[in-house]
């Protein structure tokens, strides 16, 4: 018998993604978001949901572009800080000594030190309430070669952070369990 705990954003896991944008003066900014995911395979699309109050929100609306840089778990402190401080008041790249790289395919910077980067052009903007979804078409993916396995990004090498909304904490990726798309008849 399950217990009702009321409506809330208790779904797990959420990612920890760092959204890269330029402001109107060309200053690079980054902010951490946990409301994000993949939303279409063809064309490949992802989204991030941001509050209107964030500096990144205005930047994305103006530039129609953003990047998502995915930190490894060793960068949890930097990722946490960039989710708290505002680019309106400080330069978070300078604060953290992380390096903004200008994308060659979209009008946004990404984080050199984070192993996996998705460069996105805004495709849809969906206002839902406190948050607005920015659906972006993935124009290119950049990756550090040492996190590739058979030419593809390997979650076991990237070691991305997971966000748990129930405990407001960061968690790591554990061992690989199994191949997906392998159980083609009902399991016993």
Please list every residue from 120 through 149 that binds a copy of itself, using CB under 8 A: 123-124, 126, 128-131, 133, 135, 137-145, 148-149
Q: Would you call 118 helix, strand, or coil by DSSP? A: strand
Residue in 47, 41, 37, 49 with CA at minimum distance from that of residue 13 = 37
Residue 31 backbone phi and psi in degrees, to 5:
-140, 150
Q: Does 102 bind a copy of itself (CB under 8 A)?
A: no
Q: Does 5 bind a copy of itself (CB under 8 A)?
A: yes
Nearer to a copy of itself, 24 or 128 (CB): 128
Closest approach of Cβ 88 to a copy of itself, in Å?
Answer: 16
Tell which one of 23, 61, 64, 165 touches a copy of itself (CB under 8 A): 165
Stretch that binds a copy of itself, among 20-28, 57-65, 168-176 (CB under 8 A): 168-176
Nearer to a copy of itself, 7 or 24 (CB): 7
Q: Does 99 bind a copy of itself (CB under 8 A)?
A: no
Q: Does 27 bind a copy of itself (CB under 8 A)?
A: no
Q: Does 176 bind a copy of itself (CB under 8 A)?
A: yes
Strands 116-127 and 65-70: antiparallel
Give dist(CA 95, CA 78) in Å, integer: 9
Residue in 43, 54, 35 with CA at minimum distance from that of residue 121 = 43
Residue 159 backbone phi and psi in degrees, to 5:
50, 60
What DSSP string runs through 71-88?
A: -BGGGHHHHHHHHHS-TT
Of residues 32-91, those binding a copy of itself (CB under 8 A): 34-47, 49, 68, 70, 73, 76-78, 80-81, 83-85
């Amino acid at each position: 018998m399950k217990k009702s705990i009321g409506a809330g954003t208790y779904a797990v896991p959420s990612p920890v993604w760092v959204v890269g944008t330029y402001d109107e003066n060309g200053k690079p900014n980054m902010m951490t978001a946990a409301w994000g995911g993949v939303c279409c395979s063809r064309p490949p699309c992802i989204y991030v949901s941001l509050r209107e109050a964030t500096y990144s929100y205005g930047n994305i609306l103006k530039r129609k572009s953003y990047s998502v840089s995915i930190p490894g778990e060793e960068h949890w402190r930097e990722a946490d800080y960039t989710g708290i401080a505002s680019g309106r008041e400080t330069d978070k790249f300078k604060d953290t000594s992380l390096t903004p790289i200008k994308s060659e395919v979209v009008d946004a910077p990404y984080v050199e030190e984070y192993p996996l980067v998705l460069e996105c052009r805004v495709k849809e903007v969906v206002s839902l309430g406190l948050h607005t979804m920015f659906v972006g078409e993935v124009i290119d993916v950049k990756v550090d070669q040492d996190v590739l396995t058979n030419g593809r990004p390997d979650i076991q090498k990237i070691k991305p952070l997971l966000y748990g909304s129930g405990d407001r904490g960061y968690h790591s990726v554990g061992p690989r369990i199994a191949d997906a798309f392998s159980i083609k008849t009902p399991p016993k």
